[in-house]
Structure 1
């Protein structure tokens, strides 16, 4: 199968367009959910700090995990700052946003869980953003390794590859659909749905990044993103397991 083959300029434009479209859709969905729940607007007291914490945390995590994934970019004397500044990581954005929100909640005295309202925006934003990754093809570092499977895609170099961008879209949609199916029982434990989403996505990335080109080997064939996923899961799973034990899921209605 033949995948998208764009020029470097067109690939960069497509990636940027769908990236910002995904962010815009995610923000609007988050606002819609808050209005539907009768909660304060994003810029009102009680919400503004959480929003700022999410944005700053996601921005920092986005870059930090990319730099962990590509430490070789810092090597040598001719560091390409444009590449360092443009690189991004969904895993980093998720974890950074989570940390930023929790810090903001501590500073503002918010004790309620706020994560569940981020699931729908994250699903939509990730799917739309991955369209840009797919269109960018070989100009983006999210494609897979060579494969003989019939759905392997040639992005212009004559090598059929795993379309891991499409895999990511399908898994995120499936994860979102499963959580939507169980939304009523999950709603009895505030924050449980988000913990399931984040843990599920981290586990998925730990697996799927094993069929992507390895930019830097941290040992045992693990990439920087896989290493971050392992550390994050070890830190996060105890809270998820504890909450799941306290909440047995009845049959969805």
Structure 2
């Protein structure tokens, strides 16, 4: 199979990444609805809706903001501004969504943790979206650096590159299975599952950024890696509690 994958239906070019992105949102939401029906939700329907709206707004802002910060030196022009407004990243979406949820909960006075039900739908959604990234080859800035390792692949520019999207797909499968096992075998406090997901996924993304051709670094780190550090600091109390054995009993 040649990459990028170019599909046409009745001579109409199909953006496979965009199709899979929308499919990811749809399937992930349906999975969330299924999980909510099969689990007792201590948060009322009205408050849950407010939380979802907060997450959506926060994710929209965060994904665009971090997408912009990945290209801070780009010259400002009408064409580039349009490109930047359409640039988004799941990392900014996740952290922005987290902040949006916390703000929404403060506004409505909701005290219970709300993230656990979203964990597995989010993983499934990212997985489907990453398939689109892989099939898009070098058309999406998710490819890796040129490599001479046996894992290198031609993603569309004739060079052997790290297939970082494939690496992430493998990690997401492992993460899904691991968190299912943790959730089944340990007594977690409400909200802990989401925190474990965020720390694990942001930790993975911090590491894999080193084999991506980032062009802008601050203190030797990319904007995504700086966001990962911010996420770890945000959950620093939880990390300490894990280290001293207050969780996962």
Q: Deviations over 1:99-125 (max 9, x none)?
A: 111111111111111111111111100
The alpha-carbon distance between structure 1 residues 48 and 165, as it changes in their structure 2 partners (threshold 3 A), is same
1:123-162 to structure 2, matched below 5 A, reads 123-162=123-162
Residue in structure 2 matched with residue 115 of structure 1 by the alignment: 115
Q: How large is the RMSD of aligned CA atoms in angstroms?
A: 2.4
The alpha-carbon distance between structure 1 residues 187 and 33, as it changes in their structure 2 partners (threshold 3 A), is farther
Give the C-alpha shift of residue 244 in structure 1: 6.1
Residue in structure 2 matched with residue 95 of structure 1 by the alignment: 95
Retained in 2: the 8 A contact 1:70–1:224? no
Q: Deviations over 1:136-175 (max 9, x none)?
A: 1111000000111222110222211000001111112211
* Aligned length, in residue pairs: 246
Q: Which fold has the larger relative contact order, with Cα–Cα distance below 8 Å and residues 6 or more apart in sequence?
A: 1
Residue in structure 1 matched with residue 178 of structure 2 by the alignment: 178
Give the C-alpha shift of residue 39 in structure 1: 3.6
Residue in structure 1 matched with residue 60 of structure 2 by the alignment: 59
Retained in 2: the 8 A contact 1:5–1:155? yes
Q: Deviations over 1:43-102 (max 9, x none)?
A: x322111110011011111111111111123x2445523211221111101101111111
Retained in 1: the 8 A contact 2:64–2:87? yes
1:201-212 to structure 2, matched below 5 A, reads 201-212=201-212
TM-score by length of 2: 0.90
Give the C-alpha shift of residue 249 in structure 1: 2.9
Residue in structure 1 matched with residue 200 of structure 2 by the alignment: 200
Q: Which moved more, 1:32-41 or 1:58-67?
A: 32-41
Q: Helix, strand or coil: the match of 2:46? A: coil
> C-alpha distance in 2, partners of 1:186/1:8?
45
